């Protein structure tokens, strides 16, 4: 689970802001304070790491709701010499398999990336004497100073375990050079020890001298380069002597096109390793030593790859619901539009309601419950069938008709012999019901359309016929009810909703985050009612007065953030709650009037 986010130099945020993430994280602040920037940074990270496009304007996840405007726009202060700082910390408890193996015993892993333009040497015009023309001319000269003008992308990647930095890499050409790596960290030392025990034991059996594995690995660091096809590296390669020399000549920048094959080394690189061996090592010892080094490098490579996998996996869980929910057409079954707004605009919610019986049941409960919306409406499915497809069914049904199905007592009413007996059913309702059942169970293609039933008059209406508040809140309810173990980011869930119901949304979020679904919710809101309900549930948890079915809420489950301007940038303040749902920190500008009423309700 995501436990912390760090955002710096992004939109309203200047210096990096630490943002704790809990199962329910509520983000408050005045308009234009920058509170959306927190969620937008996640949207950007997902988009950029998936596609490699760091100059994004619109994203698949954000749809029309998020227009980042490209790097020049989203970098803080429009200063393209800066880098966006973005980091996540994750609890490793849910990791399994390869990820668990890669991160050892650490309980948290953090990955921090800096996104910006790669530095290139500054070119300036300097005077020079042209001996042919016999005059001073200005010629371009690359100075020692760098300017940010190169390729846009991840410039550095820092990986920390339990808040201790383990590995830092920075972009050089096509790869990432390892700036620092803590080979003594628990992530590596245990695994290296296993390698050492196996390989060096074999080498020692030859009774020759054995080198210090960590020292040899340490010497290899300048040759290490992490590479991969995506925005983040996923394997480790070593530079040969020639490449290292070339890189050195290029002022520390690795050349484009450097060898990027995963770690299985060319003979030239093996030679470089062997140069570190002490004299007198037996051939068998050398063999085991080379294998040991290779295996250790593979462990480092796995660690780097696992970090990228972990980041992408976490961001794949992101579900974003923007502040402007689309208002679907009257018959949305006929106009599916799976564009970028499908999720961000909430359009997908209507599809979920059509296809997921449980979610539809839960939403109906919310719509009609006396303590909730109290609307007279119930969402239901209506099956639509093309009339041309009914011909066979009707023919078959008619062919099954026998005189037993018809009334015969009407024959005496004929006025002339030419008149044909009217086909009057003995039990018309039963026949109609049978026909409907036949159509329903037939294999004829049907389209499920979503309808709302006004239960007062049992008439069918469309969401277009009811208040807009319902259509705006339905995507919120569906997202909360239909998601499991996901990272849900919602802007303004309370849109168009009556204040009393905004409080009830608090219960929906509690259920979604702390009930069986175990979602992580990041909610940007202006609604004090929402927060007050959560505070009340904390108080009730503490006094053991929770209503039946409501999950317990403790201070560890909720994080309240307040975004406010400070100078030319925005800052994020965390406001802590105690077990009784009372704020330990002062609410900027004073707490809401409603808080008082809710507390004594």
Partner 1 sequence: MLYEFALMPDLFDSSLASQGPAHRVVLLELLRGISENGLIADFHHARLFRHIIGQRIPALSPALQGKVLSYLKVLDDRHRLVRHPKCLTGEPSSDADWLQLAFDSHDRVPFRAIVLGQTLMNGSQRKCDALVEFFGSLDSELWSESRKRSLSLEKSPTAYRSALASILRHAKSLALVDPHLNVQARFFGTVAICSNVMGQRGHARLHGRIDIHAEAKCQSPDGLSIADHLAAWGQKLAPLVSADGHRFRVFLWESLQDEETLHDRFILTDQCAISTPGGLDCRSSSHPNSTDWSLLDEDARLLRWDNYDPSSSPFKLMEKREFP
Question: Which residues are within 8 A (CB) of 247 and not within 5 positions of it... i.e. 6 or more apart?
Answer: 172, 239, 253, 254, 255, 258
Site string for partner 1, 74-103 (x = CB under 8 A): ------------------------------
CA dist 418 → 411, 414, 415, 440, 523 (Å): 12, 9, 9, 38, 77
Question: Which residues are within 8 A (CB) of 507 and not within 5 positions of it... i.e. 6 or more apart?
Answer: 533, 537, 550
**Shortest Cβ distance from residue 164 to partner 1 (Å)?**
11
**Shortest Cβ distance from residue 163 to partner 1 (Å)?**
11
Instruction: Specify the residue, 349 or 532, whose C-beta has the smaller distance to partner 1.
Output: 532
Site string for partner 1, 347-386 (x = CB under 8 A): ----------------------------------------
Residues 475 and 473: their CA atoms lie apart, in Å, by 6
**Shortest Cβ distance from residue 370 to partner 1 (Å)?**
21
Token pair, residue 120, equals 């290139």
Question: Which residues are within 8 A (CB) of 287 and not within 5 positions of it... i.e. 6 or more apart?
Answer: none
Instruction: Specify the residue, 60 or 598, whose C-beta has the smaller distance to partner 1.
Output: 598
Residues 317 and 111: their CA atoms lie apart, in Å, by 17
Question: Which residues are within 8 A (CB) of 150 and not within 5 positions of it... i.e. 6 or more apart?
Answer: 117, 118, 119, 120
Instruction: Specify the residue, 20 or 101, whose C-beta has the smaller distance to partner 1.
Output: 20
Instruction: Specify the residue, 186 or 582, whose C-beta has the smaller distance to partner 1.
Output: 582
**Shortest Cβ distance from residue 16 to partner 1 (Å)?**
11
With beta carbons less than 8 A apart as the criterion, state whether 20 and 32 touch.
no
**Touching partner 1, residues 133-152 (CB under 8 A):** none
Of residues 492, 563, 556, the one with CA closest to residue 530: 492
Instruction: Specify the residue, 105 or 580, whose C-beta has the smaller distance to partner 1.
Output: 580
Instruction: Specify the residue, 17 or 65, whose C-beta has the smaller distance to partner 1.
Output: 17
**Shortest Cβ distance from residue 12 to partner 1 (Å)?**
13
Of the listed pieces 29-37, 68-76, 369-377, 569-577, which binds partner 1 according to CB under 8 A? 569-577
Residues 46 and 62: their CA atoms lie apart, in Å, by 10
Instruction: Specify the residue, 327 or 596, whose C-beta has the smaller distance to partner 1.
Output: 596
Residues 217 and 595: their CA atoms lie apart, in Å, by 60
Of residues 296, 288, 267, 311, the one with CA closest to residue 86: 311
**Shortest Cβ distance from residue 528 to partner 1 (Å)?**
13
Of residues 240, 237, 225, 226, the one with CA closest to residue 271: 240
**Touching partner 1, residues 570-599 (CB under 8 A):** 571-573, 576, 578, 580, 582-586, 590-591, 593, 595-596, 599
Instruction: Specify the residue, 388 or 593, whose C-beta has the smaller distance to partner 1.
Output: 593
Site string for partner 1, 512-551 (x = CB under 8 A): -------------------------------x--------
Helix, strand, coil share (%) of the chain residues, nearest 5: 40, 25, 35
Residue tagged 């530095």 (tokens): 119
**Shortest Cβ distance from residue 184 to partner 1 (Å)?**
17
Of residues 370, 357, 346, 384, the one with CA closest to residue 463: 346
Instruction: Specify the residue, 342 or 592, whose C-beta has the smaller distance to partner 1.
Output: 592
Instruction: Specify the residue, 361 or 596, whose C-beta has the smaller distance to partner 1.
Output: 596
**Shortest Cβ distance from residue 110 to partner 1 (Å)?**
17
Strand order in the sheet with 235-238: 17-20, 2-8, 84-91, 108-130, 135-161, 164-172, 175-181, 224-227, 235-238
**Shortest Cβ distance from residue 26 to partner 1 (Å)?**
16
Instruction: Specify the residue, 512 or 542, whose C-beta has the smaller distance to partner 1.
Output: 542
**Shortest Cβ distance from residue 188 to partner 1 (Å)?**
22
With beta carbons less than 8 A apart as the criterion, state whether 150 and 116 touch.
no
427 secondary structure, DSSP code: S
**Shortest Cβ distance from residue 543 to partner 1 (Å)?**
6
How many residues belong to the site for partner 1 (CB under 8 A)?
Answer: 23
**Touching partner 1, residues 548-567 (CB under 8 A):** 564, 566
Residue tagged 């026909």 (tokens): 435
Instruction: Specify the residue, 194 or 566, whose C-beta has the smaller distance to partner 1.
Output: 566
Find the helix or strand (DSSP H, E) in which 524 lies: strand 520-524
Instruction: Specify the residue, 397 or 591, whose C-beta has the smaller distance to partner 1.
Output: 591
Residues 393-426: b if buried by 16+ CB within 10 A, e if exposed: eeeeeeeeeeeeeeeeeeeeeeeeeeeeeeeeee
Q: Is 568 in the site for partner 1 (CB under 8 A)?
A: no
**Shortest Cβ distance from residue 41 to partner 1 (Å)?**
17
- β-pairing, 520-524 with 487-491? parallel
Residues 487 and 5: their CA atoms lie apart, in Å, by 13
**Shortest Cβ distance from residue 25 to partner 1 (Å)?**
16
**Shortest Cβ distance from residue 48 to partner 1 (Å)?**
27
Angle (CA) 206 207 212, round 5°:
100
- β-pairing, 446-454 with 459-461? antiparallel
**Shortest Cβ distance from residue 532 to partner 1 (Å)?**
12
Instruction: Specify the residue, 466 or 569, whose C-beta has the smaller distance to partner 1.
Output: 569
| List 9, 17, 332, 479, residue binding partner 1 (CB under 8 A) | 17
Instruction: Specify the residue, 438 or 564, whose C-beta has the smaller distance to partner 1.
Output: 564
Residues 519 and 133: their CA atoms lie apart, in Å, by 74
Give the interface with partner 1 as residue ranges (CB under 8 A): 17, 543, 564, 566, 571-573, 576, 578, 580, 582-586, 590-591, 593, 595-596, 599-601
């Amino acid at each position: 689970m995501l436990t912390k986010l760090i955002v710096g130099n992004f939109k309203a945020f200047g210096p990096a802001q630490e943002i704790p993430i809990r199962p329910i994280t509520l983000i408050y602040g005045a308009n234009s304070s920058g509170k959306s920037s927190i969620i937008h940074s996640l949207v950007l990270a997902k988009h950029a790491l998936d596609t490699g496009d760091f100059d994004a304007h619109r994203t698949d996840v954000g749809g029309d709701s998020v227009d980042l405007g490209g790097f020049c726009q989203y970098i803080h202060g429009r200063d393209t010499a800066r880098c966006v700082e973005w980091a996540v910390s994750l609890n490793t408890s849910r990791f399994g398999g390869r990820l668990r193996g890669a991160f050892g015993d650490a309980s948290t892993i953090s990955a921090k990336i800096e996104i910006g333009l790669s530095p290139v040497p500054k070119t300036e015009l300097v005077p020079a004497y042209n001996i042919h023309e016999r005059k001073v001319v200005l010629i371009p000269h690359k100075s020692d100073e760098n300017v940010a003008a190169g390729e846009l992308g991840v410039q550095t990647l820092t990986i920390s375990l339990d808040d201790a930095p383990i590995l830092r890499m920075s972009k050089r050409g096509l790869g990432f050079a390892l700036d620092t790596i803590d080979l003594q960290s628990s992530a590596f030392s245990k695994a290296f020890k296993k390698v050492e025990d196996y390989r060096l034991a074999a080498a020692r059996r030859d009774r020759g001298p054995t080198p210090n594995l960590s020292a040899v690995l340490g010497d290899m660091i300048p040759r290490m380069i992490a590479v991969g096809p995506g925005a983040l590296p996923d394997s480790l390669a070593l530079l040969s002597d020639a490449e290292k020399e070339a890189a050195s000549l290029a002022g520390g920048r690795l050349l484009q096109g450097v060898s990027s094959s995963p770690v299985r080394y060319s003979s030239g690189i093996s030679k470089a390793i062997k140069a570190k061996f002490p004299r007198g090592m037996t051939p068998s010892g050398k063999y085991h030593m080379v294998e040991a080094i290779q295996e250790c490098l593979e462990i480092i490579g796995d660690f780097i790859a696992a970090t990228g996998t972990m980041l992408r996996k976490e961001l794949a869980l992101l579900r974003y619901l923007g502040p402007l929910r689309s208002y679907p057409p009257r018959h949305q079954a006929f106009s599916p539009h799976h564009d970028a707004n499908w999720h961000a605009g909430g359009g997908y919610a209507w599809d979920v309601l059509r296809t997921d019986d449980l979610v539809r049941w839960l939403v109906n409960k919310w719509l009609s419950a006396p303590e909730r919306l109290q609307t007279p409406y119930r969402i239901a499915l209506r099956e639509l069938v093309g009339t041309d497809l009914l011909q066979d069914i009707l023919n078959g049904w008619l062919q099954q008709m026998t005189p037993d199905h018809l009334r015969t007592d009407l024959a005496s009413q004929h006025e002339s012999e030419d008149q044909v007996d009217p086909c009057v059913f003995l039990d018309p309702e039963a026949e109609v019901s049978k026909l409907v059942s036949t159509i329903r169970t037939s294999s004829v293609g049907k389209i499920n359309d979503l309808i709302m039933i006004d239960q007062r008059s049992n008439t069918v209406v469309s969401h277009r016929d009811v208040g807009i508040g319902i259509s705006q809140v339905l995507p919120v309810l569906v997202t909360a009810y239909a998601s499991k173990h996901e990272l849900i980011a919602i802007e303004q869930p309370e849109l168009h909703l009556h204040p009393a119901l905004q409080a009830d949304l608090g219960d929906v979020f509690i259920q979604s985050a702390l009930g069986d679904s175990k979602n992580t919710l990041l909610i940007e809101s202006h609604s004090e009612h929402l927060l007050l309900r959560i505070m009340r549930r904390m108080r009730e948890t503490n006094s053991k007065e929770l209503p039946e079915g409501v999950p317990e809420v403790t201070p560890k489950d909720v994080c309240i953030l307040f975004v406010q301007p400070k100078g030319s940038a925005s800052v994020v303040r965390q406001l802590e709650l105690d077990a009784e749902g009372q704020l330990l920190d002062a609410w900027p500008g004073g707490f809401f009037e409603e808080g008082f009423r809710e507390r004594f309700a």
